A and B are shown apart, each in its own frame.
Chain A
Amino acid sequence: MAKLKQQSLQKRDNELASANRQLEILSNGIFKNGELPTFAKKIKETNEFPLRPKKLEILQINLGYMCNQVCEHCHVDAGPDRKEIMTWKTMQRCLEVIKNTDAHTLDLTGGAPEMNPNFRRFVEQASKAGIQDFIVRSNLTILRANKKYHDLPEFFKKHRVHVVSSMPHWTRGKTDKQRGEGVFDMSITALKELNAVGYGMPGSDLKLDLVYNPNGAYLPGDQVSMEKEFKSALLADFNIQFHNLFAITNLPISRFLDYLIASENYEDYMYQLVEAYNPAAVKNVMCTNTISISWDGWLYDCDFNQMLGLKVASKVTHINQYNETILNDRDIVISQHCYGCTAGAGSSCQGTVTA
């Protein structure tokens, strides 16, 4: 059993590696028999259907599903056995888009984006586009995984990259349980190295934010309170500093969906999400200001829709045809997983979406 968790669902030939199977599960059962309202029905109650984009603010680019970790909750089903990697040719197309976009934020994600062989070349080029906020989502352990990554903190600093890193808890036990044995200690070392070059320090413009997501079938607590707890514990125990904490809800897809079903928590979790539905969060869900680009150049409303294979409902569906005006005139594709972004204070790759 433990050995299996070292591999992605895809490698294990798990039925949930299929996006269609996931969508089937999310549309059947308690949603088909009417026990719970579908997301479409719910947002119709508050006149938010169909969801429509607002001004484009964030371009999120997934550089590939390869990762050095196999986290239990991963919505990407990333891991060392995933070979999907963005080519330099697609990156070049992305660079043209970055130069001309109206978005103020560029957000590179994965997998571990640093594992893409053209990662540095791409960051060097992209940083010249003068985009306001240039984020790289780093899992931290990659900075210690191999000597060739040891200078990444300096590299990030040189290109004024905003580092956003996953850190599920300030204790070893909870972190390792979710992300794998030894992850906590490696993450602590990586954070110290980022601090050492100036990342996350009070008043520093080298931004270091952490991402918290729950360790199981429950929703994240209040982001502000969690940030206080994280800050005081990491400072007291390890003398580590960071800027902001983003509390993110686990969406019921991919490996987290697999966990929910295997642990018989699926229905209770969906109840929690539906009961915590917050109409105020719907107004600011990230799909209304983001375009997600996959490793092979397809366009999606968000990273979660990317993993479910739900391409944008637009004439323009690929980076080769990229046109922001046409793209912004579309209905956002939804399913029941969207409840994850509208529960409580809301959830996005930038944390909660309500004040």
Chain B
Amino acid sequence: MANNYYDPADLKKFGKITEWSEELGNKFFDYYGKVFEEGALTAREKSLIALAVSHTEQCPYCIEAYTKDSLQRGVTKEQMMEAIHVGAAIKSGATLVHGTMMMNKVNKLEM
């Protein structure tokens, strides 16, 4: 066992997930592959969405994979950073919007 929770080499082993549950693993990878195909959104747009979500999910494997994927699709670093800010804005907005719950509760409880 490695001394770290995250090991970059583990990303290459992702496909082996199927070994311990072939049917579910294969269903996941089929679905995953289909999601990223060119559709109403281009593969490039999907890659940028994935990059932003990788950051909000704080998944190191995903960040590595979709940074490379974005570069392969000709995405510029400025576009990548803007996408991450979209993720960051939603993440902080999602925190802040819960403040309305707090305000509601305070208003209900206080005389």
Q: Give residues in A with beta carbon < 8 Å to B.
A: 169-171, 173-174, 212, 214-216, 218-222, 225-226, 229-230, 271, 275
> A225-B43, A229-B44 given as contacts; is B12 within 8 A of A219 (CB)?
no
> Chain B 50-86, CB within 8 Å of chain A: the 1/0 string?
0000000000000000001001111010000000000
Q: Are A174 and B72 in contact (CB under 8 A)?
A: no
User: Within 8 Å CB of B72, what residues of A?
Assistant: 214, 218-221
In order of increasing CB-CB distance, the 9 nearest A-B pairs are A221-B72, A221-B73, A218-B71, A218-B68, A218-B72, A229-B74, A226-B74, A171-B76, A219-B72
Question: Does B42 touch A at the CB level, under 8 Å?
Answer: yes
> A173-B76, A174-B76, A271-B12 given as contacts; is B43 within 8 A of A222 (CB)?
yes
How distant is the Cα of A216 from the Cα of B74 in the complex, in angstroms? 11
How distant is the Cα of A215 from the Cα of B76 in the complex, in angstroms? 11
List, sorted by A's number, 8 A–B pairs whose CB atoms are closer than 8 Å: A174-B76, A215-B71, A218-B72, A221-B74, A222-B73, A225-B42, A229-B44, A230-B74
User: Within 8 Å CB of B38, what residues of A?
Assistant: 225
Total A-B residue contacts, Cβ distance less than 8 Å = 33
Query: Which residue on chain B has the smallest CB distance to residue A228?
Result: B42
Interchain nearest-CB distance for B75 vs A (Å): 9
How distant is the Cα of A348 from the Cα of B86 in the complex, in angstroms? 38
Query: Which residue on chain B has the smallest CB distance to residue A230?
Result: B74
- Of A171, A173, A214, A229, which one neighbours B71 at CB under 8 angstroms? A214
User: Within 8 Å CB of B44, what residues of A?
Assistant: 221, 225, 229
Interface SS of chain A: loop
Q: Are B74 and A169 in contact (CB under 8 A)?
A: yes
- Which of A170, A173, A218, A230 gathers the greatest number of chain B CB atoms within 10 Å? A218
Query: Which residue on chain B has the smallest CB distance to residue A226?
Result: B74
Q: Are B73 and A225 in contact (CB under 8 A)?
A: yes
User: Within 8 Å CB of A230, what residues of B?
Assistant: 74
How distant is the Cα of A275 from the Cα of B12 in the complex, in angstroms? 10
User: Within 8 Å CB of A222, what residues of B?
Assistant: 43, 73
How distant is the Cα of A218 from the Cα of B43 in the complex, in angstroms? 17
User: Within 8 Å CB of B74, what residues of A?
Assistant: 169-170, 212, 221, 226, 229-230
Query: Which residue on chain B has the smallest CB distance to residue A171?
Result: B76
Query: Which residue on chain A has the smallest CB distance to residue B8?
Result: A268
How distant is the Cα of A226 from the Cα of B70 in the complex, in angstroms? 12
User: Within 8 Å CB of A271, what residues of B?
Assistant: 12
User: Within 8 Å CB of B73, what residues of A?
Assistant: 221-222, 225-226
Query: Which residue on chain A has the smallest CB distance to residue B15?
Result: A275
Interchain nearest-CB distance for B77 vs A (Å): 8
User: Within 8 Å CB of B42, what residues of A?
Assistant: 225
How distant is the Cα of A230 from the Cα of B74 in the complex, in angstroms? 9
Interchain nearest-CB distance for B71 vs A (Å): 5
Query: Which residue on chain A has the smallest CB distance to residue B67?
Result: A218
Q: Are A216 and B43 in contact (CB under 8 A)?
A: no
How distant is the Cα of A290 from the Cα of B12 in the complex, in angstroms? 35
How distant is the Cα of A215 from the Cα of B74 in the complex, in angstroms? 9
User: Within 8 Å CB of B76, what residues of A?
Assistant: 171, 173-174
How distant is the Cα of A218 from the Cα of B67 in the complex, in angstroms? 10
Query: Which residue on chain A has the smallest CB distance to residue B43?
Result: A225
How distant is the Cα of A229 from the Cα of B47 in the complex, in angstroms? 15
Supply 15 further A-B pairs (C-beta < 8 A) apart from A173-B76, A229-B44.
A170-B74, A171-B76, A174-B76, A214-B72, A218-B71, A218-B72, A219-B72, A222-B43, A222-B73, A225-B42, A225-B43, A225-B44, A225-B73, A230-B74, A275-B12
User: Within 8 Å CB of A220, what residues of B?
Assistant: 72
User: Within 8 Å CB of B68, what residues of A?
Assistant: 218
